[in-house]
Amino acid sequence: MSRFQRLQRRVAKREQLLQGRYEQAVERKDTLKARWREAWTPGRIVVAGVVAGFVMGRAEPVKLAAKSGNLMQLVTLLSGLFAGSSAQQAADQAGRAAGEAGQAADSAEAAVEAVVAPGYTAVASKPGKAHSSTTEQA
């Protein structure tokens, strides 16, 4: 048996070992996940929520807010900046849409005038609706 063949066998064995360890890890992860979910009964969830609420209440939120005052001002400033730019973009889009709607209305009106038979005129009875009526010819 050559040295190369021995190396190939060792590599194959290590690959099998690695595959087995991978399968074990996946199995253990699934077991841990199932046991974790089983452990969180409704009673334990309620107790954890009460304890977390008590701890947060005792953390003196006023002190934390006083320390982070400058941070809150910065966040407020940045949110206003982004909101302003978003509003400007929305206004620009609305203006473009209004212009396109006006052009579409003009082209639709021109198409209606071209289609109306001679001796008839298009008369608008309600916004968005048009009907034809005869005109008196002298």
Range from 36-45, 55-64, 99-108, 123-132 carrying the lowest mean pLDDT = 123-132
- pLDDT tens-place string over residues 3-62: 999 999 999 999 999 999 999 999 999 999 999 888 888 888 888 888 888 877 776 665
Between 22 and 92, where is the model more confident?
Answer: 22
Instruction: State residue 27's pLDDT score.
Output: 96
Residues 115, 117, 123, 124, Cα dihedral to 10°: -30
Buried b (16+ CB within 10 A) or exposed e, 104-129: eeeeeeeeeeeeeeeeeeeeeeeeee
**Statement: the pTM of the whole predicted model exceeds 0.85:** no
Most confident of 2-6, 72-76, 101-105: 2-6
Instruction: State residue 93's pLDDT score.
Output: 76
Instruction: State residue 8's pLDDT score.
Output: 94
